[in-house]
Structure 1
């Protein structure tokens, strides 16, 4: 057979899979070191479940990467099985054939990546070709399947993945990104069609595509990685391990049910979190970071959480993921939140408006630059700068009563890069009556006087206020729900962090942590 170097790279040669450029921030090639870390976590848990048994020495264990790109997971699994099954199947060629025919399976996400994966696993783009390390595979694709799958269009979008028809209803020569694994309601039957009727996988592992573009970028894009995770659960394997964006922990459009399942099922046995994605994927910035988890079908209970920041691992044993409706990533933050919540004070949510508080979109243009009789001030963004225009009062058809009260306008979105300390929120505007704003802002109201509004503004600028918001704000968007853990105060005081730290019993060590995360903030009207 071909030299075993195909499975055990010589030390003097770089691993080609470390040299491939990513397709995009949403289709990221997994570094081999990262894939092996996930496999180590799997092996440790398998041993704990099977009285110390080694998963790589089990000739019956079946593995599936249902969205393979470079083939790194399949390759690294195969390398481990070749070593682990040496005693069970002494003949190398027989061992390799057994593994590649019976144990390791993949589904390509595009034609290109299916070819890459076959080259990584079989050392040939033709699984049954003369250069393949496998001698008894019958088909050209081997156990890495790919065929073009079509979207299921309904009301201009795919009913499975939400892809916009205008962008992805393409001719056959172009990729349409209809990923086969999630374009079916009968995944067990579909897998049977692809690989055989009696397929029952022990492990489903990989790095799924992260989102489907809506064409405008940013918040117009919809996450799809959770669809792959849920489909893997539907196959009922023993274990599922995937690397996904961490934004599911606290936010993300359409992720509420997924987050609830992840936090409350009790099946997540371990969770490893990288708040800075470049720590795990060099050169790749994914807002909110990335994480990988190990889902254990037979586990019900607490989770071991590992947070990795600046090369240091912080391990939290026995975390109950479902303690709150979102996940608190940092164990130091958890202690501070518990102190605040222990007061059982109402939150400020009743004061915070929803998105587009006056029904005026960000791109609204029917306003004047100078005041005119019958027109009211409109706070907006013009040419990337905060501005005030003037519009007809009659043009406001939503939350009309909020026009004539003192209010505080807070930016709906604020991005501050990836380094700490963050500001977390954009500067506020104390707005007298009458006044309105575009979708750029949320409205905090009503306040009976300027003094009350200024009191809230002082509270908003404190580090503790913004720290509590940061626990629910994992991307640039600061929608109403991100304020859920901020308790209401009396609006007759100029609030400072010193007053708040004393009220909630925040220790010097906790204050130092907050200071390391949140930077000071000057007044919004300055």
Structure 2
């Protein structure tokens, strides 16, 4: 009975779901404390729209976690409903059975996590098990469904999630990570097959898998979290709340349509954003941070946005999310950007190459350490160390016309895991002609050493790097991230003081720049 296996897990310290919260960077287990923050946000919105009513005292509301892992969301929802419905359904066992059979539903992402979720929700890996707190189920799965789903192979990749066939076309005894929720073109019909044809959910909440590993590795792997968001929206639930990486706000391959829809739809009621992943998920870290949102189908208007800048919680502000093609996380920076854009100056990205400027990848090594007559210099990195080699001019296939330009080489990637103040960009190198570089660098090109030194001084300013930071949300620093940085006259040494004066920054704006961007000592 329920007294033997309490939802509150009284006397158990620490909570087992806190202990497993940090097992993965890709399929991140949600700490109970974080799940409860999301549920608090949901409850506040429900109360605001229902004359102060308590969502946990409503026996008709249905909840779905369509990618449950530890079962933490299902468990915490059930605990709240058990307390909230005490007046309406006084008998404890009757109340528990109603909640577990009629209100709380989940879809496991793997067989193991489905068992873990049932253990969290029913206090037994089987809903009909001896120690289960539920008595109203006729099957072991209860309302936490899992069956192996197959990928839909279209050549080398899955047509639904983009998984590489070479890695995930696996034997039945191995997990293939074909998540049921996104492997269907008709999610409403699929949900009807799983839980009943007339099923309509009021709240969809959870923490989906973030990417399909097995691509080029790391940030080059295929992001899939947006597919879960889009599928959830297709179910027409009143509220959708999910934990997802923050990188969609400003980047990500294939994210343009998703970003436009989310930012311009006006339905995101709350957005709580953490620049540093470990602030929200202790022990887990990746570039760009993490966030959760509350999407309200019936709401249209500005979003209540709360930013955690590193460990510091900033004041909640109302924001129009779609003011730009990307979302700028700190509203103070918006005022600075507006002043810069209003001048209509050409972008410095016009004199910046994109990735692999000479068609040589970062691991290109077909060059010599010794120079011969007619050779040109090639700049590269080897295990993080910057070096120079030599190669024949005639072997350059791309951008050969830039060999004899002066260059300011800038690293293609620089990560700080949400550190504040931030450097934003790696230190540059001035390369005289004739020279090329591997894909470890991009470069600004100009006609003289004097111009190169002027660009170098500009790049090192906090002002320059702040403008880049507004579009750079991960470690990658490719050409589009520089598009809001205006060109200057390259006949002088640039300083922050000169730039603050030119663009009319207020004392408060100057203090902001000085606070969030740290100095860059060229040559140090």
What is the rounded CA distance, in whole Å, between the counterparts of 2:382 and 2:112 in structure 1?
A: 44
Runs of 4+ displaced beyond 6 Å = none
Q: What is the match of residue 470 of structure 1?
A: 469
Secondary structure of the residue aligned to 1:389 is: strand
1:213-362 equivalences under 5 Å are 213-214=213-214, 216-309=216-309, 312-362=312-362
Q: Give yes or no for the alignment of 1:500 onto 2:475.
A: no
| Displacement of 1:434 | 2.2
Unaligned runs of 5+ in 2: none
* TM-score, normalised relative to structure 2: 0.96
Deviation track 1:324-356 (CA, whole Å, cap 9, x = no partner) reads 111111222223222222323222121121111
Q: What is the match of residue 167 of structure 2?
A: 167
Q: What is the match of residue 519 of structure 1?
A: 518
CA contact (8 A) 2:348 2:482 kept: yes
CA contact (8 A) 1:316 1:331 kept: no
| Displacement of 1:256 | 2.1
| Displacement of 1:309 | 4.0
Q: Give yes or no for the alignment of 1:197 onto 2:197.
A: yes
Q: Give yes or no for the alignment of 1:39 onto 2:27.
A: no
Change (3 A) 1:421 1:313: closer
1:398-409 equivalences under 5 Å are 398-409=398-409
Q: What is the match of residue 29 of structure 2?
A: 29
CA contact (8 A) 2:289 2:418 kept: no
What is the rounded CA distance, in whole Å, between the counterparts of 2:317 and 2:385 in structure 1?
A: 47
What is the rounded CA distance, in whole Å, between the counterparts of 2:16 and 2:371 in structure 1?
A: 64
| Displacement of 1:79 | 1.2
What is the rounded CA distance, in whole Å, between the counterparts of 2:186 and 2:395 in structure 1?
A: 50
CA contact (8 A) 1:304 1:315 kept: no
Q: What is the match of residue 81 of structure 2?
A: 81
Q: What is the match of residue 460 of structure 1?
A: 459
| Displacement of 1:428 | 1.5
* TM-score, normalised relative to structure 1: 0.96
What is the rounded CA distance, in whole Å, between the counterparts of 2:171 and 2:23 in structure 1?
A: 21
What is the rounded CA distance, in whole Å, between the counterparts of 1:431 and 1:370 in structure 2?
A: 18
What is the rounded CA distance, in whole Å, between the counterparts of 2:377 and 2:485 in structure 1?
A: 29
What is the rounded CA distance, in whole Å, between the counterparts of 1:21 and 1:282 in structure 2?
A: 8
1:49-128 equivalences under 5 Å are 49-128=49-128
CA contact (8 A) 1:204 1:232 kept: yes
What is the rounded CA distance, in whole Å, between the counterparts of 1:163 and 1:291 in structure 2?
A: 25
| Displacement of 1:430 | 2.1
Deviation track 1:208-242 (CA, whole Å, cap 9, x = no partner) reads 11111125532331211111111101111101000
What is the rounded CA distance, in whole Å, between the counterparts of 2:402 and 2:390 in structure 1?
A: 17
Secondary structure of the residue aligned to 2:307 is: strand
What is the rounded CA distance, in whole Å, between the counterparts of 1:409 and 1:240 in structure 2?
A: 44
| Displacement of 1:431 | 2.2
Secondary structure of the residue aligned to 2:99 is: helix
Q: What is the match of residue 487 of structure 1?
A: 486
CA contact (8 A) 1:167 1:215 kept: no
Unaligned runs of 5+ in 1: none
1:328-477 equivalences under 5 Å are 328-445=328-445, 447-477=446-476
CA RMSD of aligned residues (A): 1.7
CA contact (8 A) 1:34 1:280 kept: yes
Deviation track 1:144-197 (CA, whole Å, cap 9, x = no partner) reads 000111112223121211111222121111111111111111111111111111
What is the rounded CA distance, in whole Å, between the counterparts of 2:399 and 2:312 in structure 1?
A: 49
| Displacement of 1:207 | 0.5
Deviation track 1:99-150 (CA, whole Å, cap 9, x = no partner) reads 1111110000111110011011111111022321111111110000001111
CA contact (8 A) 2:5 2:123 kept: no
Deviation track 1:269-289 (CA, whole Å, cap 9, x = no partner) reads 000011122121111112211
Q: What is the match of residue 151 of structure 1?
A: 151
- Number of aligned pairs? 524
What is the rounded CA distance, in whole Å, between the counterparts of 1:465 and 1:418 in structure 2?
A: 18
Deviation track 1:367-391 (CA, whole Å, cap 9, x = no partner) reads 1112212322111123532122122
